């Protein structure tokens, strides 16, 4: 989401400061090296998966400078002779004459499009020279046998519904929307729903490695994409080449622990915004931290009672949309995104919700014409309810609201109710696998100390679980660290991808 959202922010307000970069010197690297470049001959799998590994890709020009192709994978890996589905690929060919191989990339989500991601400037020029950068839409996502649960009008209603209900009527409305989402997914995509979990996505990744001709996997995953990488390493440790997991998820977390961690992360990020706003001297929310927080809380309370006009009578700014509008800039480099948030909040305080609505729409991948880019808002439920369900009843959630409010008065209630859809889900959850990836080559895990969506502690936890995990820390507040402003991080990641030089475990890049 980061690259798309950052570009779109400039259309929301003109008061955006110039981009700044951290110029910290990279920490010292160890002398360990990752797997050497793969040979041109990729091993295939004998037996029922051989026909998938031996596919030949038919690359065709697309989107001017890129190449597109599709590849087939089994719907159900337990029945590989059965139904197949297609995955969409996009390749940015290496700009140099001597490529190392293909670097598969995933932007997170669940539900993010790797096809879109690979078209952005997600890696440095040196990496682009030596790697074909290949994005893929995971199974069920975007152009890859996509899940479909709701039409655009229904989705508008789903995302605008009060996500932190205050009374029984609002609880019933949220339950009804959760049931509509679950029923729609079952009716329109029921055959696919049991097979969109991350374990199967990771198995697809090995098919992609093989058909791309690499003996080992080169992979960059951010946010949820780190979970895909971790499960790949667990299932295929001997095929891990150079793997970077930026903004890591902790595989051991339950749905409740996941939501609590995000509540803490967003509260920390909100605190960083508050300090920035105050330091500017003209913060529209007040002159002290207490006043700023009180003003924001009261604004959201007023919006809950009476949604703000936005210039579109059919889409007033509801509390849920306002919270998403506040959340989006917290993902991004503060110097660029915080001024935009201040403008949007100032307008909302004056009774105009248009700017916050536009931020929410960017978060939701909603276009001005009412269409949605891809199916992110549906896939995220389908995957999370398989991988990391909460499945709690209304009574159980209500019993936890006060604890979440104590963690984050603004984001906590919204997050504790977010798992309600899993209680309605038509497919039972999978058993989460244990991850240690014993025998894998060194895996670089990047964690940002103030990351709102994937808290730093999750990166620490994943590193400790991976037998060959190496932690690279960035002291900042952005969601994911690579190619977002830290030369220190960029140089160490690039050196690892290009030369196999593994950062010293525990290396720290300052802001």
pLDDT tens by residue, 284-313: 999 999 999 999 999 999 999 999 999 999
Residue 423 near residue 397, CB atoms below 8 Å: no
The answer to whether residues 452 and 269 touch, using CB atoms and an 8 Å cutoff, is yes
CA distance 470 to 486: 18
d(CA 67, CA 58): 9
Of residues 246 and 391, more confidence is placed in 246
Of the residues 246, 361, 387, 451, which is catalytic?
451
pLDDT band at 46 (very low <50, low <70, confident <90, very high): low
**Across all residues in the chain, what is the average pLDDT?**
90
CA-to-CA distance for 349 and 343, rounded, in angstroms?
A: 10
Residue 273, Cα to own-chain centre: how many angstroms?
A: 21
Read off the tokens for 503.
């950062």
In the prediction, which pLDDT does 44 show?
55
Question: What's the whole-number mean pLDDT along residues 148-156?
Answer: 96
d(CA 452, CA 247): 10
**Is pLDDT of 73 > 60?**
yes
310-322 confidence digits (pLDDT tens): 999 999 999 999 9
Shortest CA distance to 203 belongs to which of 70, 385, 45, 431? Answer: 45
Report helix, strand and coil shares of the chain as percent, to nearest 5: 45, 15, 40
Distance CA 299, CA 303 (A): 6
Is 479 known to be catalytic?
yes
Q: Can you give the pLDDT at residue 45?
A: 61
Question: Which of 223, 408, 468, 486 is the catalytic position?
Answer: 223
Contact 479, 448 (CB under 8 A): yes
* pTM for this predicted structure: 0.90
Banded model confidence at residue 345, pLDDT cuts 50, 70, 90: very high
Residue 285 has a pLDDT of: 97
Q: What is the dihedral of CA 129, 71, 428, 182, to 10 degrees?
A: 90
Nearest to 401 by CA among 413, 384, 388: 413
Stretch 224-232: mean pLDDT, rounded?
Answer: 97
- How much is the pLDDT for 37? 39
How far apart (Å, rounded) are the C-alpha atoms in residues 185 and 148? 6
**Alpha-carbon dihedral sign for residues 435, 439, 440, 442:** positive
- What pLDDT score was predicted for residue 273? 97
Spell out the domain ranges in the chain. Answer: 60-136+199-252+440-509, 152-192+256-423
pLDDT at 119 (0 to 100)? 94
CB 485 within 8 Å of CB 21: yes
Above 70 in pLDDT, residue 24? no
How far apart, in whole angstroms, are the C-alpha atoms of residue 230 and residue 220? Answer: 11
What class, spelled out in words, does domain 60-136+199-252+440-509 have in CATH?
alpha beta
**C-beta of residue 52 within 8 angstroms of C-beta of residue 72:** yes
- Token reading at 271: 């605190």
Q: What pLDDT is attached to residue 28?
A: 34
Q: At which residue do the structure tokens 């996509």 appear?
A: 146
What secondary structure does DSSP assign to 288-307, as a single string? SHHHHHHHHHHHHHHHHHSP
Query: pLDDT digit string (tens) for 236-276?
Result: 999 999 999 999 999 999 889 999 999 999 999 999 999 99
Whether the pLDDT of residue 466 is over 90: the answer is: yes
Find how far residue 271's CA is from the centre of its chain: 22
Within 75-183, strands assigned E span: 84-92, 101-106, 131-136
The residue from 479, 490, 494, 507 that is catalytic is 479
Does residue 362 sit in helix, strand or coil? Answer: helix
Q: What H or E segment, with its residue span, contains residue 261?
A: helix 255-279
What was the pLDDT predicted at 183? 96
**What is the pLDDT averaged over residues 205-219?**
98
- 451 catalytic, yes or no? yes
* pLDDT, greater one: 17 or 350: 350
Average pLDDT over residues 31-60: 67
């Amino acid at each position: 989401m980061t690259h798309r959202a950052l570009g779109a922010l400039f259309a929301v307000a003109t008061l955006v400061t110039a981009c700044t970069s951290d110029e910290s010197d990279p920490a010292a690297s160890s002398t360990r090296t990752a797997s050497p470049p793969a040979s041109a001959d990729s091993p295939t799998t004998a037996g029922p998966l051989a026909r998938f590994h031996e596919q030949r890709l038919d690359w065709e020009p697309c989107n001017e400078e890129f190449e597109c192709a599709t590849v087939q994978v089994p719907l159900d890996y337990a029945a590989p002779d059965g139904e197949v589905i297609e995955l969409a690929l996009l390749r940015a060919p290496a700009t140099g004459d001597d490529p190392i191989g293909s670097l598969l990339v995933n932007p997170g989500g669940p539900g993010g499009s790797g096809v879109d991601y690979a078209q952005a400037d997600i890696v440095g020029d040196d990496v682009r020279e030596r790697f074909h950068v290949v994005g893929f839409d995971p199974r069920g996502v975007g152009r890859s046998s996509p899940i479909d649960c709701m039409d655009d009008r229904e989705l508008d209603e789903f995302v605008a519904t009060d996500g932190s209900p205050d009374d029984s009527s609002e609880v019933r409305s949220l339950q009804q929307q959760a049931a509509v989402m679950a029923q729609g997914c079952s009716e329109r995509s029921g055959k696919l729903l049991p097979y969109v979990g991350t374990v199967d996505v990771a198995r697809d990744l090995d098919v992609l490695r093989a058909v791309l001709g690499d003996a080992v996997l080169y992979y960059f995953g951010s946010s949820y994409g780190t979970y895909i990488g971790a499960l790949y390493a667990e299932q295929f440790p001997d095929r891990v080449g150079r793997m970077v997991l930026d903004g890591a998820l902790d595989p051991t977390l339950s749905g409740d622990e996941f939501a609590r961690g995000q509540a803490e992360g967003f509260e920390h990020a909100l605190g960083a915004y508050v300090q920035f706003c105050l330091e500017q001297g003209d913060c529209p929310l007040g002159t002290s931290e207490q006043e700023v927080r009180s003003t924001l809380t009261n604004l959201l309370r007023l919006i809950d009672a009476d949604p703000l006009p936005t210039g579109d009578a059919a889409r007033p700014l509801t509390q849920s949309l306002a919270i998403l509008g506040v959340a989006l800039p917290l993902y991004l480099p503060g110097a660029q995104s915080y001024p935009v948030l201040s403008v949007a909040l100032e307008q909302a305080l004056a009774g105009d919700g248009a700017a916050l609505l536009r931020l929410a729409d960017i978060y939701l991948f909603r276009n001005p014409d009412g269409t949605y880019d891809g199916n992110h808002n549906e896939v995220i439920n389908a995957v999370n309810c398989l991988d990391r369900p909460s499945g709690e009843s209304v009574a159980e959630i209500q019993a936890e609201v006060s604890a979440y409010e104590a963690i984050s008065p603004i984001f906590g209630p919204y997050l504790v109710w977010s798992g309600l859809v899993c209680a309605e889900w038509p497919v039972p959850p999978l058993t989460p696998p244990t991850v240690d990836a014993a025998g894998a080559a060194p895996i670089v895990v990047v964690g940002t100390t103030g990351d709102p969506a994937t808290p730093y502690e999750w990166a620490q936890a994943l590193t400790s679980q991976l037998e060959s995990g190496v932690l690279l820390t960035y002291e900042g507040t952005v969601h994911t660290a690579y190619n977002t402003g830290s030369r220190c991080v960029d140089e160490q990641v690039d050196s690892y991808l290009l030369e196999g030089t593994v950062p010293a475990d525990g290396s720290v890049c300052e802001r």
